[in-house]
Amino acid sequence: MTPLHIDDRAPLSPTAAAKLRRDVAGHGTLQDAVRWAFERGHRLLGVFEQDEFTLDVVFEISPELYLVFDAT
């Protein structure tokens, strides 16, 4: 499985970035990501179609932090 690329635009502290990378490291599908987010109580803000093959799925991790999964 190819590791997910995280583009940290926050920027997060090194500790927070490392934790987020560990948290999402095992996600191989969008279903994995959604299940992970819902299990932790993160709010789904929206699913945005970019083109016929790509979706952006946006979660609110905290009031100051959002995580966007780019799914193809």
Say which DSSP state 64 is in.
T
| pLDDT tier at 38, thresholds 50, 70, 90 | very high
pLDDT of residue 3: 64
- Say if CB 60 and CB 40 are below 8 A apart: no
Q: What pTM was computed for the model?
A: 0.81
pLDDT of residue 57: 93
Nearby residues of 61 by Cβ (< 8 Å), 6 or more positions away = 42, 67
Q: Average pLDDT for residues 4-28, to the nearest whole number? A: 87
What residue numbers bound the domain in which 46 lies?
Answer: 29-71
Provide the domain count of the chain: 1
Nearby residues of 10 by Cβ (< 8 Å), 6 or more positions away = 65
pLDDT digits (tens, 9 = 90+) for 48-64: 999 999 999 999 998 98
36 inside domain: yes
19 inside domain: no
17 inside domain: no
pLDDT of residue 2: 64
pLDDT of 39 over the 90 cut = yes
